[in-house]
Structure 1
């Protein structure tokens, strides 16, 4: 443990949102250091009540909410009210500050970061989330300011690391560190203890093929592909589990389940014939090291996912497609029982090296150095 470190963990995602990288790393870091959580809490955001995430920390950790007003990004007068509401937030007691997004700088002034060791965990290509030029420029400015003060920059994918170096190379204090996403140690331990999670069935036994997507449903989901699949194959049902953050099409065999508790996800995976990741290929997606694939591997079901660079480390476990016709070939093979699942031993070998605990061990080594 690193007794001299007292860290403020500043998270741009509500704690009661679908569990992602910031949630898991915060929990694992609490094993090594004294760490307090600060997360953005939106007023009038009813979606947060749909899930109630537990906090599995290893030691006492204070939780603080950074209040976000609706439309505060558009109006200066609302920003002033927001600052007044959050005026009591102070980071003076901390010597390390962990920041998960440039958006944090809209709530925490740069002067609060002076004299601190700043760690920027760049988990996504945040510039690609926006289409409005004003918002893109605002995000560029915030990220540039953050990169300049950051002592350590961590990225979740190789593509994102390369892009950070391209955009901010001479302003970085050192080369970014690559820390991929991972899987919960508790999940992997159940696989270790029980010798397997599901029966790894490879033959579809009902009249319908159940394909399941688990994760946030955003603009990156290829609904054009999904609808074409459903229109071509009358025996396919596609279930989508997770929060909806975009417009979604309607189809009688396209089911939106909504947000479910993280510990309930295995149930939905067990009822599926295959797990899918149907994404559009753009810079945002190319920057993603998908947490869902680590969890998909744990569930011991065939996995069909779009092909891009970051997916190649999963090739032993994933059927990659680039076109609609390739996807359809996999569904035909699935129906006949020809999409095999790698052995439990192979899954364990990969997942035991890919837990959030393993990722956090590397982070602690970086901080020590």
Structure 2
């Protein structure tokens, strides 16, 4: 079995360590992530790239495995102030040894790149297995999702989360409903909903040329971008496409944790695969309505989809299934319709496609987004961290 390393990564060199042997004055923010920096550009990338203005960010990912590989850290610098480290380990290593190797590699790196202060930022409680010995000036748990509800979650995740909640100085949640659940478990929990880079997605409001793989798709187009996984309502999308064959459904994003063969296949459903973050406005510009066809299950109970404000920044009306944070945050906006059945979903799309609805989209979208930005969210996070230093 071989798990190929992410592109652009090179072994962390000893010459780098020698150059950095004197402690630096900026604190080191060690972010322990279950998500890869180069997968889908979302909350971790937005937050860490902004916090890198104040801290040296070390983004430590889960291991990759390769036959006969020498244990080492693969390093890259995707943006200024952020270093991504990926442990490369030999395939077939027992789980206990995987934990021990990650600890050894990380400890060695920290010793060779000393900082006066260490701040620990956990995106996953599972990282405690190899970092519980580290003592940070501040320990942050960014609980962006209820990971224990996701498909394939390790059985020990719940216990690890309780340990992390006991250790954390501050807890951030990815949305309000998740904060409602966690505030009873931690005295210093704060709702920090995922936000939006308005200027980036507002490009979709202009007349942009269609990307080559979307140009041949007729209108009207209903679009979705994001990860296609167990949170995706396959039956709803299939029924939507079946009942309205003249509507074209454009789906952008990687398919993970579900069998691609289970996805609906119709002439008016178009799977365009994963795209880079900087490409999304160009695709969004060619859609008439943006979709959020999430299944209503344990994995979506606490989600706060980043794509809601991204779609609105692009000037597109949104039709969503009844996700709690979408209802509370956008249900009264007039530009985000909530539909709980296929018939209601289709009716909401028809209304969004009407000329009357199109006339009011931009004003309603701007009102819904008033005051939102990743800069504002990250400033609020930093304020909490600085109060604890």
Normalising by structure 1, what TM-score? 0.81
**1:122 aligned to 2:122?**
no
Across the aligned residues of Structure 1 and Structure 2, the Cα RMSD in angstroms comes to 2.9
1:145 to 2:163 alignment? yes
Query: How much does 1:329 deviate?
Result: 1.0
Q: Distance in 1 between matches of 2:198 and 2:79?
A: 12
Q: Give the structure 1 partner of residue 230 of structure 2.
A: 219
Partner residue of 1:365? Answer: 383
Q: Secondary structure at the match of 2:351?
A: helix
User: Which of 174, 177, 189 is residue 156 of structure 1 equivalent to?
Assistant: 174
Matched-pair contact (CA < 8 Å) for 2:169–2:188: no
Q: In structure 1, how many angstroms separate the alpha carbons of the residues matched to 2:317 and 2:340?
A: 17
Contact kept, 8 Å, 1:14 with 1:41, in 2: the verdict is no
Structure 2 residue corresponding to 1:261, chosen from 276, 281, 301: 276
Q: Is the 8 A contact 1:185 1:357 kept in 2?
A: no
Question: For the Cα contact (< 8 Å) 1:40–1:68, is it kept in 2?
Answer: no
CA pair 131-244 structure 1, distance change in 2 beyond 3 A: closer
Q: Indicate yes or no: 2:117 matched with 1:103.
A: no
Contact 1:37–1:61 (8 Å) recurs in 2: yes
Structure 2 residue 198 is the aligned partner of structure 1 residue 198: no
Q: CA deviation at 1:325?
A: 1.0
Match runs of 1:256-295 below 5 Å: 256-295=271-310
Indicate conservation of the 8 Å contact 1:128/1:283, yes or no. yes
Cα gap change, 1:61/1:280 in structure 2, threshold over 3 Å: closer, same or farther? closer
Cα shift at 1:10? 2.4
Distance 1:100 1:232 in 2: 41
Question: How far did residue 298 of structure 1 move?
Answer: 1.1
Task: Determine the C-alpha separation between the residues in 1 that align with 2:385 and 2:294.
Answer: 34
Shift of 1:351: 3.4
Shift of 1:184: 1.9
Residues 222 and 278 in structure 1, CA contact (< 8 A), matched pair in contact too: yes
Structure 1: stretches of 5+ with no match in the other structure: 45-52, 201-205
Distance between the aligned counterparts of 1:244 and 1:68, measured in 2? 25
Using the TM superposition, give the Cα deviation of residue 207 of structure 1 relative to its aligned residue in structure 2, in angstroms.
Answer: 6.3
Task: Summarize deviations over 1:29-70 as a string: whole Å, max 9, x none.
Answer: 1223343333335336xxxxxxxx98444xx44433244676
1:183 aligns with 2:196: yes
Shift of 1:289: 1.1
In structure 1, the residue matched to 2:265 is 251
Residue of structure 2 equivalent to 1:27: 49
- Deviation track 1:170-220 (CA, whole Å, cap 9, x = no partner) reads xx3x231111101125426x66xxxx82369xxxxx964311111011101
Cα distance 1:150–1:301, how it changes in 2: closer, same or farther (>3 A)?
Answer: same
Contact 2:316 2:361 in 1 (8 A): no
Q: Distance in 1 between matches of 2:279 and 2:296?
A: 29
Alignment of 1:324-335 (within 5 A): 324-335=342-353
Q: After superposition, what is the alpha-carbon deviation per residue over 1:257-287, rounded to whole angstroms, capped at 9, x for unaligned?
A: 1111111111111121211000111232131
Q: Which is worse superposed, 146-155 or 344-353?
A: 344-353
**TM-fit CA distance, 1:115:** 4.8
Pick closer, same or farther for the CA change 1:115–1:61 going to 2, 3 Å: closer
Aligned to 2:311: 296
Do the aligned partners of 1:67 and 1:82 also contact (CA within 8 Å) in 2? no
Report the number of matched residues.
336
- 1:69 and 1:82 in contact (8 A); partners too: no
In structure 2, what is the Cα distance between the partners aligned to 1:341 and 1:31? 40
Whether the aligned pair in 2 keeps the contact of 1:11 and 1:101 (CA below 8 Å) is yes
1:18 to 40, 46, 51: 40
Q: Which structure ranks higher in relative contact order (CA pairs < 8 Å, sequence separation ≥ 6)? A: 1
What secondary structure is seen at the aligned counterpart in 2 of 1:339? helix
Q: 1:324 to 1:15 in 2, by over 3 A?
A: same
Gaps of 5+ in 2: 1-24, 67-75, 209-216
When residues 121 and 79 of structure 1 are mapped into structure 2, their CA distance, relative to the original with a 3 A threshold, is closer
Q: C-alpha distance in 2, partners of 1:68/1:281?
A: 38
